[in-house]
């Protein structure tokens, strides 16, 4: 980050005085951030660094690499289009990040990292043509320190900072350029993002993740801030919205996850980095997850602590997930703290798994739950929790058994009505970890635990999608 140069453009406009108003209004524009040189070509290949300009569209048809010590930055309103069909690793280009990657979209001007036929794919998804959605059209973003060399015996790697960005349709098969210890066997689906750097920051805020073939994200070490994002339709027959491993410490909050194949969030100390996985998971809304996973072990649905991981789970809304909160005996159970979840189940099978049958988690004093199906309806403004017949289609199912409305947000609204049992029932002892160390334009915007259960707060804070 030492090479970052910030160009701040300040536009000051003073309104003319009127008979009724004698106070001027001063407006300051958002800062325009530039890193290194402007990238002039609209086609990226090989080693890349510098700034992709606002309003421009860029393309890559082969793998591109951000080397250690370099930075690639996308200004607000930038599109980065992967050209490929995802049928082989040669036709599923990937972004390798050994330095720093930054996408600074805004609410008014979001960024896109997607494929050229994204609009067509969304249309197909709405028509339930899920085959193309899960094809894995490109290879994702792979973020680790570079290889050890004589010139750089201790590669440091860099941060990944992504804000107000659409990440879509990743998951193409891995190839010889990929780390075979990560993607095993060769040819496995790649993830939308893989991040593995204990000393650096992974920030994903206010972004959208859609249509991954397997895990949407796998975090294998780092200071974590995953805040106010929307994950839709992640995993064709397996895969988490976010799979978090050893070395990862931080906050996962105010995320909306709908239609994940397996868990919304899997929290595991697998990987043995020496830094225990410790994730603070609060105020998330998790809907219709866990039904496409094809494992026979019975796992998958919402939040899963296992394999020596520790952390917290407070104020989460878990609605019609195949399995609710799962705390396995293999987790650091004494240091897994949870309460104030709202559970809703369409049928008895879902209700029975509010706390996973194969886990050690137990109903807590401030949970909102019932042993009777269809009790404690969260009362969303624009989503019918009883529209899909889970009794007719128990897990596992294929995506074609699931209507688009239950695996994508679309025009639905998951904000709670004033009569929702979630309002005012959140924990008063939950706090944020705030482990991310970057500041300014590149820093975290952490939203503290709210007073209402779920990602959407009645006062308008929380998830802004």
Does residue 30 lie within any of the structural domains? no
Q: Which residues contact 180 (CB under 8 A, 6 or more apart)?
A: 186
Smallest Cα–Cα separation from 307: which of 258, 271, 281, 353?
A: 271
Does residue 309 lie within any of the structural domains? yes
Does residue 275 lie within any of the structural domains? yes
Does residue 178 lie within any of the structural domains? no
Does residue 298 lie within any of the structural domains? yes
Does residue 241 lie within any of the structural domains? no
Distance of CA 47 to the CA centre of its chain: 27
CB contact at 8 A, 283 and 454: yes
CB contact at 8 A, 59 and 42: yes
What's the domain range around 421? 255-465
- How would you write the pLDDT of the chain (465 residues) with one tens digit per residue? 444 444 333 333 323 333 333 333 333 345 678 888 999 999 999 999 999 999 999 999 999 999 999 999 999 999 999 999 999 999 999 999 999 999 999 999 999 999 987 767 777 666 667 778 899 999 999 999 988 888 788 888 999 999 999 999 999 999 999 999 999 999 999 999 999 999 999 999 999 999 999 999 999 999 999 999 999 999 999 999 999 999 999 999 999 999 999 999 999 999 989 999 999 999 999 999 999 987 766 678 899 999 999 999 999 999 999 999 999 999 999 999 999 999 999 999 999 999 999 999 999 999 999 999 999 999 999 999 999 999 999 889 988 889 899 999 999 999 999 999 999 999 999 999 999 998 888 999 999 999 999 999 999 999 999
CA angle 185, 218, 266 (to 5 degrees): 105
**N- to C-terminal Cα distance for the chain?**
30
Is the pTM for the entire model greater than 0.75?
Answer: yes
Structure token digits, residue 199: 């000393």
Per the structure, how many domains does the chain have? Answer: 1
Using a 10 angstrom Cβ sphere, with 0-12 exposed, 13-18 middle and 19 or more buried, the burial of residue 400 is exposed
Does residue 444 lie within any of the structural domains? yes
Strands (E), 325-365: 326-327, 336-339, 342-344
Beta bridge mates, 84: none
Does residue 426 lie within any of the structural domains? yes
Structure token digits, residue 115: 């494929």
């Amino acid at each position: 980050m030492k090479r970052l140069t910030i160009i701040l453009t300040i536009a000051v406009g003073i309104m003319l005085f009127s008979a009724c108003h004698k106070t001027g209004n001063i407006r300051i524009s958002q800062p325009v951030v530039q890193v290194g040189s402007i990238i002039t070509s609209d086609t990226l290949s090989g080693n890349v660094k510098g700034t992709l300009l606002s309003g421009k569209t860029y393309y890559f048809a082969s793998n591109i690499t951000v080397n250690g010590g370099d930075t690639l930055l996308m200004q607000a309103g930038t599109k980065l289009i992967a050209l490929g069909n995802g049928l082989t690793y040669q036709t599923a280009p990937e972004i390798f990040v050994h330095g720093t990657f930054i996408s600074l979209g805004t609410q008014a001007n979001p960024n896109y990292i997607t494929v050229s036929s994204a609009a067509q794919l969304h249309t197909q998804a709405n028509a339930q043509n899920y085959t193309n959605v899960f094809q894995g059209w490109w290879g994702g973003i792979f973020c680790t320190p570079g290889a050890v060399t004589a010139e750089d015996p201790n590669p440091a790697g860099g941060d990944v900072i992504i804000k107000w960005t659409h990440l879509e349709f990743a998951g193409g098969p891995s190839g010889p350029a990929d780390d075979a210890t990560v993607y095993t066997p060769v040819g496995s689906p790649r993830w939308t993002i893989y991040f593995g750097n204990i000393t650096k920051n992974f920030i994903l805020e206010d972004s959208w993740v859609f249509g991954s073939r397997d895990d949407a994200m796998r975090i294998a070490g780092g200071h974590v801030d995953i805040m106010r994002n929307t994950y839709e339709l992640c995993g064709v027959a397996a895969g988490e919205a976010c799979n978090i491993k050893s070395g990862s410490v931080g906050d996962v909050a105010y995320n909306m996850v709908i239609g994940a194949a397996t868990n919304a969030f899997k929290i595991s100390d697998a990987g043995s980095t020496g830094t225990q996985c410790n994730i603070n998971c609060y105020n998330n809304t998790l809907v219709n997850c866990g039904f496409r996973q094809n494992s026979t072990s019975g796992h998958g649905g919402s939040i899963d602590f296992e394999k020596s991981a520790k952390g917290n789970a407070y104020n989460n809304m878990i609605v019609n997930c195949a399995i609710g909160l799962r705390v396995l005996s293999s987790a650091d159970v004494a240091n897994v703290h949870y309460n104030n979840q709202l559970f809703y189940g369409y049928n008895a099978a879902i209700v029975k798994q509010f706390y996973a049958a194969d886990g050690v988690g137990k109903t807590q004093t401030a949970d909102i739950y019932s042993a009777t199906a269809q009790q404690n309806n969260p009362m969303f403004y624009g989503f019918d929790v009883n529209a899909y017949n889970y009794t007719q289609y128990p897990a596992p199912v294929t995506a074609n058994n699931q209507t688009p409305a239950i695996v994508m947000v679309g025009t639905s609204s998951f904000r709670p009505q004033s009569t929702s049992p979630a309002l005012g029932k959140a924990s008063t002892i939950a706090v944020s970890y705030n482990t991310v160390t970057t500041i300014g334009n590149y820093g975290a915007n952490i939203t503290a635990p709210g007073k209402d259960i779920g990602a959407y707060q009645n006062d308008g804070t929380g998830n802004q999608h």
